[in-house]
Structure 1
Amino acid sequence: MVLLAPRWAGGEGSPASAAARTPSAAAASPASAPPSAKPGRSPKPSHSPSASPSPSPSPTVLRIPASGPGTFATARADASSSGQYAYRVEVEDGSGVDPEEAADRIAGILAAPRGWGQGGKRTFHRVASGPAGLVVRIATAATTDRICAQGGMNTHGEVNCRIGERVMVNLKRWQTGSPEFDGPLNDYRALIINHEVGHWLGHGHETCPGAGRPAPAMMQQIYGLKGCVANAWPYDENGAYLGGPSVP
């Protein structure tokens, strides 16, 4: 089973029109013309072919497999990084996600000033083998459901989870975001990582602290914002924690 998420390419073809010009002629009959003279035939109008309209571009379709083999490709280690926490990035085979691109995106999220790294106060380094206290996996919905169920969680083919050292990222969410999140897809990817890594760091769920305020990264924003504004980050620009009341 494959889930299809249409992405429409812009552009349209405008038909060009060509008008045939027929010259006008004034007919004059001289008085001296012999009566047997036959009037000349009017020339047949020439027909110029109309230009065909340009075909509209076909819609591009992002194919999101609903299930996969359950095997994973591991992103390369980042030799330039060092830090307190070793982590690994794995992407399910056949998912269509490039492990290196995903790993670079995740590294940027973890190191961001507004992320859990707080610009260096907490540091992460990516490994490809050996011990890793944190493993971020991007997997199809079926694989995510199966692994999350091992921890007693029902992700319904829709959401992510953290089970032990593993952060399971639902491929559908990574590729399409959430209708509840008003922002770019890469911001929603940041929310996924910040929320699940927050659980890994020991943070529980939180809810909206007040209408119009930023939703906590530890809020389950996919289920509604409850008056808050969508937000992907645990800290603001000044380093203040963007939290809310704890919920189960």
Structure 2
Amino acid sequence: MRVADAAGGRYVTARGRAAPPPGAGGPLVRYLVQVEEGLPITPRRFAAEVHRVLGDPRGWAARFQRVDRPPYAFRVALSSPDLTDRMCLPWRTGGRASCYNRFRRLAAINARLWGRGSPTYRGDIASYREYVINHEVGHALGHHGHAACPRPGEPAPVMVQQTLTLQGCRPNPWPALTGG
């Protein structure tokens, strides 16, 4: 998926709701999904992928319910590099990262990285997408800091900034595989 530096500059909300998977445990967490106008992915398709990841049993211990209006705990938004930079302020991504902005309650997912992945994932775009959703939603759930690699060769905790470096660990998209 090729993504320009900038797109429409406004978000379109994915319509409809998606219930937590049957048997999911933990607290109910309502979230909203958006896609910047002009990106080459529909809100419906992006929302389905986000919901699949958040409903996976290897993920965060919560029952995630997608909604299309308030109230919600946070938003997950696919954004061009330029909009990601604006939504992440005061942190500057330089178009090379995604972020969670707690003041906006927004996980801004960089669409360029969504489309091509990260060099740390060596071409495994599907796993990288799972990682970036879990990492930024982890911030939304209160995991504000970043983790370090416990030992070289082990799976990286999902809160390591795996987009930028693995610190000697192996890529890992799931919180449950490393305890968060």
Normalising by structure 2, report the TM-score.
Answer: 0.89
Q: Which ranges in structure 1 are unaligned for 5 or more consecutive residues?
A: 1-61, 244-248
Q: How does 1:142-153 map to 2 (within 5 A)?
A: 142-149=82-89, 152-153=90-91
The residue type paired with residue 135 of structure 1 is R
Displacement after TM superposition at 1:216 (Å): 0.9
Which residue in 1 is equivalent to 2:137? 197
Identity, % of aligned positions = 38
Is 73-82 or 199-208 further displaced after alignment?
Answer: 73-82
Displacement after TM superposition at 1:78 (Å): 2.2
Displacement after TM superposition at 1:196 (Å): 0.6
Instruction: Tell me the C-alpha RMSD between the 2 structures.
Output: 1.6
Displacement after TM superposition at 1:227 (Å): 1.6
Correspondent of 1:78 among 7, 17, 20: 17
Q: Quick one: distance in 1 between partners of 2:170 and 2:67?
A: 35
Displacement after TM superposition at 1:79 (Å): 5.0
Q: Which has the larger share of helix?
A: 2
1:181 has 2:121 as partner: yes
When residues 67 and 90 of structure 1 are mapped into structure 2, their CA distance, relative to the original with a 3 A threshold, is same
Write out the 4+ residue segments of structure 1 that deviate beyond 6 Å after TM superposition: none
Q: Which ranges in structure 2 are unaligned for 5 or more consecutive residues?
A: 22-26
Normalising by structure 1, report the TM-score.
Answer: 0.66
- 1:40-94 CA-partner distances (Å, limit 9, x unpaired): xxxxxxxxxxxxxxxxxxxxxx431210222111112225448711111000000
SS in 2 for 1:220: coil
1:101 has 2:41 as partner: no
SS in 2 for 1:222: coil
1:89 has 2:33 as partner: yes
- The higher-RCO structure (CA 8 Å, 6+ apart) is 2
Q: Which has the larger radius of gyration?
A: 1
Displacement after TM superposition at 1:182 (Å): 3.3
Q: Quick one: distance in 2 between partners of 1:183 and 1:219?
A: 19
- 1:16-58 CA-partner distances (Å, limit 9, x unpaired): xxxxxxxxxxxxxxxxxxxxxxxxxxxxxxxxxxxxxxxxxxx
The residue type paired with residue 162 of structure 1 is Y
Which residue in 2 is equivalent to 1:115? 59
SS in 1 for 2:92: coil
The alignment of Structure 1 onto Structure 2 pairs a total of residues equal to 172
Q: How does 1:1-248 map to 2 (within 5 A)?
A: 62-81=1-20, 84-117=28-61, 122-149=62-89, 152-164=90-102, 165-182=105-122, 184-203=124-143, 204-236=145-177, 241=179
- 1:118-177 CA-partner distances (Å, limit 9, x unpaired): xxxx1110111121111001010001101111xx10100110111121100011111111
Q: Quick one: distance in 1 between partners of 2:54 and 2:123?
A: 19
